[in-house]
Amino acid sequence: MIRIVLLVVALTLTGCASDLPTASPSPHPELGEPAEGFDDPEGAVRALVDEFMEARLSGSGAEVHLTPVAQEQYASGSPALYDPSYRGWELRSLEAADANSYEVEVVIERSDGGPLSERLGVGPGDNVEGRPTPYLVRFAMAA
């Protein structure tokens, strides 16, 4: 270890340090390294959930926030991606599952029944358009 430090110091003093390879952010955040460009991952997850849930309430645009797996889960109808009875929602909990993934519980207020609780898995993956995305809904299920 001391030899490496001395080598780096020597190269720095001689001006050769610029020739050393530098570490770059991983192109694969799903491998456990923090997602590039997010100083506040929890804030990024909250923002994604907010956009996703507001799109669901408006009746369109939520699909862009889904992986194909999550889209299939919603296509089964339980829970429904869109429902005219959805009136509002609340973020109940947000917990880190690993370095890049979170489990989120939301409660959806409905006009024709009691509240509906959902558990969302949020993390990196390819969205339904095939575009790699640092944070999107990877799975959804009734809580």
14 in a structural domain? no
pLDDT for residue 39:
82
Q: Report how many domains make up the chain.
A: 1
2 in a structural domain? no
Contact between 67 and 124 (Cβ < 8 Å): no
* The token pair that represents 48 in the structure block: 């994604």
Q: What CATH number corresponds to the domain at position 120?
A: 3.10.450
**Phi, then psi, of 10 in degrees rounded to 5:** -65, -45
- Of the chain, the end-to-end C-alpha distance in Å amounts to 50
5 in a structural domain? no
- Reported residue count of the chain is 143
115 in a structural domain? yes
- Nearest CA to 41 among 119, 102, 118? 102
51 in a structural domain? yes
Q: Which DSSP string do the residues of 62-105 spell out, in sequence order?
A: -GGGB-HHHHHHHHTTSS-S--TTEEEEEEEEEEE-SSS-EEEE
23 in a structural domain? no
19 in a structural domain? no
Domain span including residue 76? 39-142
94 in a structural domain? yes
pLDDT for residue 38:
58
* The token pair that represents 106 in the structure block: 């939301």
Q: Which tens digits make up the pLDDT trace of 83-139?
A: 999 999 999 999 999 988 999 999 999 998 899 999 999 999 999 889 999 999 999
Q: Given a cut of 80, is residue 18 above it in pLDDT?
A: no
Bridge partners of residue 120, in order along the sequence: 104, 140
